[in-house]
Structure 1
Amino acid sequence: MNGDEKGNRSSAIAAAVILLVTGLAFFFLPGVMISLGSVSPWLAAALGTALVLAFFLLFWLRARHQRRRGR
């Protein structure tokens, strides 16, 4: 296996792990938001917004890191 194949495999594994973790977070998000909504609807909305933004921020940071490494 050469370096390019190893890099592609590493990227695919990292993307799969990120998607799995965020998928689990989004699976439990409605229940958590309902619980927080009983305390404060604004808090529930802030949590949902933060989780969605974190998902995109994570991929943006990964792409930025990849560009700096020259891949």
Structure 2
Amino acid sequence: MTPEAKSQAIAAAVILAGIGLVIYFLPTIVMWIAQFSPVLAVVIGSMLLLGFFAIFWLRARYQRNRGR
């Protein structure tokens, strides 16, 4: 395994672990926010879930631009 591949694997593992924790606690977070505003809870929950895909999309874009 090359150092670059190892670095990419570690970065992906850290991102997945962080997102895993957020998704694990997502119901608790959304229910707490829903006490103040149900609409805000939906918006925050959606942003957290879409953030998972946005992080990998941005990382792929960065890697693609870096490779040129």
TM-score normalised to structure 2 length: 0.91
Q: 1:21 aligns with which of 18, 23, 27?
A: 18
Q: Secondary structure at the match of 2:35?
A: helix
Percent identity reads 51
**1-side partners of 2:31 and 2:64: how far apart?**
39
Pair 1:61-2:58 in alignment? yes
Deviations 1:10-50 (A, max 9, x none): 11000000000011111111111111111111111001100
Runs of 4+ in 1 over 2 A off after TM superposition: none
TM-score normalised to structure 1 length: 0.88
Aligned-CA RMSD value:
1.4
Which structure would you say has the larger Rg? 1
How far off its partner does 1:7 sit? 1.1
Per chain length, whose mean CA-contact separation is higher, i.e. which structure has more relative contact order (CA < 8 Å, sep 6+)? Answer: 2
Aligned AA for 2:53?
F
**1-side partners of 2:63 and 2:46: how far apart?**
26
